[in-house]
Amino acid sequence: MHREARPVRNQSCALPGKSMFLRKPFAASPLLVRVAPFVIFLALTFCQGQFGEASRYWFYLAKTLAGVWLIWEMRPFVSEMRWAVSWEAIAVGVAVFVMWVGIDPFYPQMKPTGPAWNPNRQFGDGSPLAWGFMVMRVFGMAVVVPPLEEVFYRSFLYRYIVKADFQSVSPGQFAWLPFLATAAVFGFEHYQWLAGIFCGAAYQWLVIRKNRLGDAMTAHAITNFLLGLWIVWRGAWQFW
């Protein structure tokens, strides 16, 4: 789980050295700044577990740190990537969490390769490393994932399906094809694909209703935070 990019004359110029590695291409391309961070994040996700079981956890840590850096680099050029709180965002965030957990036993899901993501099994039940990775994962899913995914799916993809000149499309504009297509793509990014489709539709509804991205980011964060707490509390590792 936007607003249009505004000019940033001094911010990118004032940051020398490594920051310019991404700032210059991000400043030059509204498409790149919304797509590249998500693609990089997704590529690191595919690396998880490719170098032994423990690499699933260390790559998640690397992915989370990279995500924080990517958000920092893209933020000056994606003005709609601003958190916003509303009663609708809170309600949708909680409702999607309840839905995600509630419908889980009732539909066939895509199965991950390998065992479930369980730091207690990998590093020892209740060990400092296990707790560290659990905290890191909840942080990643609640703070890092929402801006990256919401910018890609609802600031870029939805509007791009409406019109190639996506920046000319208001976030509040409704159209059936992009609404359904974006929800479907978002859903099949997750093993719990049906819950993901409902989730994507709910966040898109929020963007359309509020005519901004921030409420969907907040709802996404609430859903993921509650889901993370549920996973750790109940040992429901299948959701990871």
Q: Which of 16-20, 104-108, 163-167, 208-212 has the lowest mean pLDDT?
A: 16-20
**Is pLDDT above 60 for 221?**
yes
Rounded distance, CA 207 to CA 213, Å?
Answer: 5
Write the DSSP symbol of residue 110.
P
pLDDT at 223: 98
Cα 114 to the center of its chain, rounded Å: 23
pLDDT at 12: 37
**Is pLDDT above 90 for 16?**
no
**Is pLDDT above 80 for 185?**
yes
81, with CB counted inside 10 A (0-12, 13-18, 19+), is: buried
Rg (CA), the chain: 18
**Is pLDDT above 70 for 202?**
yes
6, with CB counted inside 10 A (0-12, 13-18, 19+), is: exposed
Residues 132-181: tens digit of each pLDDT: 999 999 999 999 999 999 999 999 999 999 999 999 999 999 999 999 99
**Is pLDDT above 60 for 5?**
no
Report long-range pairs for 58-64 (Cβ below 8 Å, ≥24 apart). Answer: 60/117, 60/133, 60/136, 60/137, 60/140, 61/133, 61/136, 63/140, 64/136, 64/137, 64/139, 64/140, 64/144
**Two structure tokens written together for 84:** 């916003």
What backbone phi and psi angles, to 5 degrees, belong to 52?
Answer: 100, 160
Higher pLDDT, 174 or 47: 174
Query: Which pTM value belongs to this model?
Result: 0.89
Higher pLDDT, 177 or 117: 177
- Contact criterion met (CB below 8 Å) for 34 and 78: yes
pLDDT band at 19 (very low <50, low <70, confident <90, very high): low
Q: Which of 2-11, 25-34, 154-163 has the lowest mean pLDDT?
A: 2-11
Rounded distance, CA 172 to CA 188, Å?
Answer: 24
Rounded distance, CA 108 to CA 233, Å?
Answer: 24
Query: What percentage of the chain carries pLDDT values higher than 90?
Result: 82
In sequence order, which residues have a C-beta less than 8 Å from that of residue 5 and are 6 or more positions away?
30, 33, 77, 78, 79, 80, 167
